[in-house]
Amino acid sequence: MNEENWRRFLSGYHDTRPGITERLVHLADESPYAWLAEPLHSYAGTVLDLACGSAPMRVRLPDARWVGVDASAGELASAAQLGRGPVVRADATALPVRSASADAVCASMCLPVLTPLPQVLGEVRRVLRPGGTLAALVPAQSGLSASGALAWARVMYGLRAVRQPWPNPEARDGLAELLRGAGFRVRSDQRHVFARQPALHLDTPDAVAMLVDGLYLPRLTGRRARAAKQALAAWARPGRRLELPLRRVVAEIPAVSAGREGG
């Protein structure tokens, strides 16, 4: 799928499923959003939430001067209904924020799907002040146990999908190296599997349906989605669990960088 078609799919996906990422992540008993927020709690200044969706991070950063940015009108309407603001509709490649004005940027589950990624990271660098922090949460490909790998294989087989066709697969386990190449200094790169204890439970039809609907699969037909939900519901007995490996990378703009010396 070319970039234009992907962007069109992504826009329609979130407009018709506002809050889907938040609901899917909340299937885990332990909140990945709380983990992402940990390195940002000390920031009382401006925190820009990139591709904020329904703005679950707003709840986790109550003391920050938080601003959410997203391109989806549906997601922003959901955030507004939940009383989470302020939010602004804008593309991640053209942020309506002054240069060097943000103390921190958080990017939750968005960097593997935003395009073109070099331009997105360039905008993040532009809006961050020298010494400013980027905290990013992305799905990890590594870290699954043998049983966890088999469970995900069952999920993808039910969907008749080999993999998720994200445009930036390197922005998963390779995110730290990607950020270094974009001029960031990486402070930490950690992986956490949220589905061992506690776990992502798939023991109700609603949870199974949410999992299927929450994966970015542009070519998934309605018929195949229904068949996958039925197959997974038959498998997802009480006690069946799905591991959710995530990676949190915290990076910063060097206080003095070659790109900013000399103005």
Residue 197: pLDDT over 50: no
**pTM (whole model) above 0.85:** yes
Q: Is the dihedral of CA 96, 8, 119, 45 positive or negative?
A: positive
Confidence of residue 263 (pLDDT cuts 50, 70, 90): very low
For 18, the 3-state DSSP assignment is: coil
76 versus 231: the higher-pLDDT residue is 76
Domains and CATH numbers, the chain: 3-141+167-194+244-252 (3.40.50.150)
Residue 220 is predicted with a pLDDT of 81
pLDDT score at 112? 96
Q: How far apart are the C-alpha atoms of 152 and 6, rounded to whole Å?
A: 24
